[in-house]
Chains A and B, each alone.
Chain A
Amino acid sequence: MSVHSKLEKFEDNWQTSMGGWSLEGKVVLRGKDVFKDLNNSSWMEYLLFASTGKESQEIARLMEGMWVICTSFPDPRIWNNRVSALAGTARSTGALAAAASVAVSEATIYGLKPIKGATDFLYRADKRLAEGESLEQIVRAELKQYRSVYGYGRPLVTADERVEPMMNFARSIGCGKGKYIKLAFAVEEYLAASRFKYQINIAAVCAGLLADEGLSPMDFYHMATLAFTAGAMPCFIDALDQQEGCFFPLRTSRLNFTGGETVKHWRV
C-alpha cells in the first residue's frame, strides 16, 4: 500500500530557525549565538528576545517593573498563589507548586485572560476609532457582546492600587505617553461615568503601555506567563515553613451542602 500521510515528510525532520543546541556546544536563539551575542543580556531581555524577537532594554525594564508592581503580590488568599500555599502545606514540591500556580494564572477574573484580552481590546478599539467610530459606540458594543471589557472592573474592590505606582514607574523610564495608554484611560473615563462604574485595572494599563511599545496580545501573553511565580513562591515557602496541613484548615461544617437531605441507597 502506498504511504500518503501528511506526517511522513516530518518524520525525523524538525526544521526551525528559532534556535537550539549542537553537540559541539553552540547554542543559538533566533539566529544569535547565546554565548557571544546574548551573554550580557539580563534575563528579562533574553526572555523578551526569546518570546518576541525584540531586542529592547527599555521594554525589558518596563516589563520587569510590571512583574514587580503588578503580578507578584505574595498573598496566599489570591487563587493562583493559594494553590502554591496548598502545595506547601500538603508538602508537595516547589516546582509542582509553581507549575500549578502558573497554569491557574490563566484565569478570567485576573491574570492572563485579562492581560491578553485587554491588549486585544485596545488594538481593536484603536482600529475602529481610526475607521470613524466613537469611543462610546465601541465600548457599548463590547459590553453588549461580552458583558465586560477586559482591563476594566475588578473582583473584591473597585479601584486598583497598582495603577498609580505602575504609571509612575513607566514615566520614570520614559514610557506612558503613547496613544494606546491614552486610549486605555479614555475608556476608563467613559466607563467610570457610565452606569457600570468600572474603573481601569492594571491589565488595561499594562496592555496600553506595551501596545505602545509594539507588543501584540500574543507577545504580552507569552511574556506574562511566568510573571506570577514571584508571588506564588513565597506563599509556597511560607506554608512549607509552618506546621504541615495548617494552611486554612476546614472543619466538616464548613461544607454547605445544598443538595437535599434524603439519604439514598444504591440500586445494585
Chain B
Amino acid sequence: MPEEFTETIETKIWCETPEPDNPFAAAKCYCCGYDVYGDLLKNASYIDYLYLLFKQQQPTPEQSALLQGLAIALANPGPRDHSVRAAMSAGVGGSTHASAMIAAIAVGAGNLGGSREVFHALEYWQQCQNSLELWEQMIKQPPELGREDVWLPMEHAPGFDPNGVTCPTPVKETLAHLADVGKGTNLQWLKANRAALEEFAGCPLAFSGVAAAAFYDLEFLPEQAEMLFLLLRLPGAAVHSLEQERLGWRKYPFFANGFKLNP
C-alpha cells in the first residue's frame, strides 16, 4: 500500500486478505473471525449469519430459533401494510425496483408500526424490564422529547396498535411461538402480562411490540433492532411490488371515489 494512504476504515466485523495479483480484490473474507466463503457458506444458516453480523458471535440454538421465528413472522406484513403499499405504489407505476425497496423502508421506518416504534419500544424495555409498575408509569407518563428532532414524538405507547380493537391472532400466535422457542424471559413475561400492558396502553399489542420483546431477549440495542426490523420486513414488500407491477395500475386501487377535497 502506498504510504500516503493513511485513512482507513476501522472495523471489528470484517477482515480481508488480498488476491496475490489484485490488491482491490479479496481472496479471504473473515466475519468476526469466521472464514465467510470457506466456512460459513457451507456450515451456517442465513439466520445464524445475520445474528453473527449484528452480535459478532455465534447464536445459541434458542437464539437461532427465536430469530428464525421472528424473521418468518416479519417477512411479509401483507399487502395492506403501509410499507408494502408504498412498495406496490412504486410497482404499479413502473418505478425502479430499487425505489420500491426505498419506499418500503421509508414508510416502514415510522413511529406507527415501523422500525422507529421498535426502537422506542426497546428503550421502554431497557427502562422498565419486567416491572409492571414501571411499564404503567412509562406508558401513562411517556418521556418527553427535549429539543426538536426530525422524528416526531410518539402518539401512542410504542409496541401497541392505537387503531386496534383486540390483539390480533397472528400477533398472539407469534408471541406464543417466540416465547416458546426462544426461552427468553422477556417474551414470556410479555405473554403473561399482555392484558395488563394493553390496559395501560388503552390498545392491543402489535407486531412491533412482539418484535421489540424478541430483540430484547436477543440482547439487541434499540438501533440494532431498528435496522434489522427494517431488513426483515423487505421480502414481502419486494414480492407484492413485483406482483402489482405485472398486474398494472388499472387493477390497483386509486381511491377514485374516496378523495374529498374541501374548499
Determine the residue in chain A with the shortest Cβ distance to B57. Answer: A264
A258 and B92 alpha carbons, distance in the complex (Å): 46
**Which label, helix, strand, loop or mixed, suits the secondary structure of the A interface?**
mixed
Query: Hey, which chain A residues are within 8 Å of B24, CB to CB?
Result: 249-252
A6 and B25 alpha carbons, distance in the complex (Å): 56
B142-166 at interface with A (beta carbon < 8 Å): 146-150, 162-163, 165
Query: Hey, which chain B residues are within 8 Å of A266, CB to CB?
Result: 34, 39-40, 43-44, 58
Decide: A20 near B11, CB < 8 A? Known: A253-B18, A259-B56, A267-B58.
no
Establish whether residues B147 and A251, one from each chain, have CB atoms under 8 Å apart when the complex forms: no
Query: Hey, which chain A residues are within 8 Å of B18, CB to CB?
Result: 251-253
Query: Hey, which chain B residues are within 8 Å of A4, CB to CB?
Result: 165
B: number of interface residues (CB 8 Å): 50
Q: Does B26 touch A at the CB level, under 8 Å?
A: yes
Decide: A124 near B102, CB < 8 A? Known: A254-B8, A259-B12, A263-B30.
no
Establish whether residues A253 and B150, one from each chain, have CB atoms under 8 Å apart when the complex forms: no
Nearest CB of chain A from residue B140's CB, rounded to whole Å:
20
Query: Hey, which chain A residues are within 8 Å of B1, CB to CB?
Result: 251, 253-254
Query: Hey, which chain B residues are within 8 Å of A134, CB to CB?
Result: none
Establish whether residues B11 and A93, one from each chain, have CB atoms under 8 Å apart when the complex forms: no
Nearest CB of chain A from residue B31's CB, rounded to whole Å:
9
Q: How many A-B Cβ pairs are below 8 Å?
A: 134
Query: Hey, which chain B residues are within 8 Å of A19, CB to CB?
Result: 261
- A14: which of B25, B99, B258 is its contact (CB, 8 Å)? B258
B20-37 at interface with A (beta carbon < 8 Å): 23-26, 30, 32-35
Establish whether residues B163 and A31, one from each chain, have CB atoms under 8 Å apart when the complex forms: no
Nearest CB of chain B from residue A72's CB, rounded to whole Å:
20
B247-261 at interface with A (beta carbon < 8 Å): 255, 257-261
A1-51 at interface with B (beta carbon < 8 Å): 4-7, 11-17, 19-20, 22, 28, 31
23 contacts between A and B (CB under 8 A): A5-B163, A14-B260, A93-B96, A96-B96, A106-B150, A116-B148, A116-B149, A117-B148, A121-B147, A249-B24, A251-B5, A252-B25, A254-B5, A255-B11, A259-B11, A259-B12, A259-B13, A259-B15, A259-B32, A260-B33, A264-B32, A264-B34, A268-B43
Residues of A within 8 A of B (CB): 4-7, 11-17, 19-20, 22, 28, 31, 92-93, 95-96, 99-100, 103, 106, 112-113, 116-117, 119-121, 124, 142, 145-146, 150, 217, 221, 249-260, 262-268
